[in-house]
Structure 1
């Protein structure tokens, strides 16, 4: 697993985290049309342009909207991804600005996931 404070996570680390963690929040920041064509199992869709507003919701509002608990600011397992990494990086930076010190971007995004998973 990547060290705390590392802003990037790679396929093998993410796969390991998905198998071992009950607390992982994997956020897909792609468009609705992209998500409809395929997504990483268990990911929550929050488009990149809405990350700041959505992560500013109260925990109750976040849970009602997404069906998962809003992560605490010190959440060790908050991962953003897009198709290849650019928007995921922007979302990760936005999360940092909001105080999520351990947020990470999945390098390679859904494209890498699909390659590795044979999709």
Structure 2
């Protein structure tokens, strides 16, 4: 399934312009401990189906993981549930913006 995407560069530029983006990081706890995009929510992929109530259906979300694979699965899953989501291909491997630890 082809889904909408937003490159790491586009995400970084929009954050630097103080745009209010909803970013959801679906990596595991130990990966997130190494750094997460500031302001991103953390919902591991395996918990996503249990935590849909934490995701605002009226807002667009950008899904992030290490390389774009798991976030692609998360994007497909959330699209199937009626959410507005985009995948960030390249994931944190290609992220060169700020991170929080």
CA contact (8 A) 1:26 1:78 kept: yes
Structure 1 position 11, deviation (Å): 1.8
Please identify which structure carries the higher helix content: 1
Unaligned stretches of 5+ residues in structure 1: 63-69
Higher-Rg member (1/2): 1
Segment of structure 1 superposing worse, 7-16 or 38-47: 7-16
Structure 1 position 6, deviation (Å): 5.2
2:75 maps to which of 83, 92, 110: 92
The structure showing larger relative contact order (alpha-carbon pairs under 8 Å, at least 6 residues apart) is 2
Secondary structure of 1:79's partner?
strand
Unaligned stretches of 5+ residues in structure 2: none
- Which consecutive segments of 4 or more residues in structure 1 shift more than 3 A? none
Per the alignment, residue 33 of structure 1 pairs with 30
Secondary structure of 1:49's partner?
helix
Q: Deviations over 1:50-78 (max 9, x none)?
A: 112211x2xxxx3xxxxxxx4224x2x31
Using structure 1 for the length normalisation, give the TM-score.
0.72
Aligned length: 97
CA contact (8 A) 2:37 2:98 kept: no
Using structure 2 for the length normalisation, give the TM-score.
0.83
2:63 maps to which of 69, 74, 80: 80
Per the alignment, residue 65 of structure 1 pairs with none
Taking only aligned residues, the RMSD between alpha carbons, in angstroms, comes to: 2.1
